[in-house]
Amino acid sequence: MTDLTTLQPGLESPPSRGFSVTPSDGSDLALPIRGLMVASAGDVALVTTGGDSVTLPALQPGVQYAVLASRILATGTSATGIVGLA
């Protein structure tokens, strides 16, 4: 049996952490995320880890979206119940 504590996670690995996100125009996330999910449908405006501001339109609940982001913006975000996956 493999000792999972000795494995190095890669971007192709599933997330090992998750946390509730409160959108903010002025504060970065506690951890950069590599994915997100929403509880209610809507748009999510964010800043990627590369520094680009983008809006992901019409995200649906129950879907894991792959994105490397450092901030979820309040302005332009209509989805609620956002969970960041790291």
Q: pLDDT for 15-58, tens place per residue?
A: 878 999 999 999 999 999 999 999 999 999 999 999 999 999 99
Q: Where are the domains of the chain?
A: 17-85
* SS3 category, 43: strand
Q: Quick check: 8 pLDDT over 70?
A: no
- CA gap 72, 44 in Å, rounded: 7
Cα gap 16→35, rounded to integer Å: 11
Cα separations in angstroms, 83 against 1, 3, 5, 64, 72? 31, 28, 24, 10, 11
Neighbours of 23 (CB within 10 A): 20
pLDDT at 12 exceeding the cut of 90: no
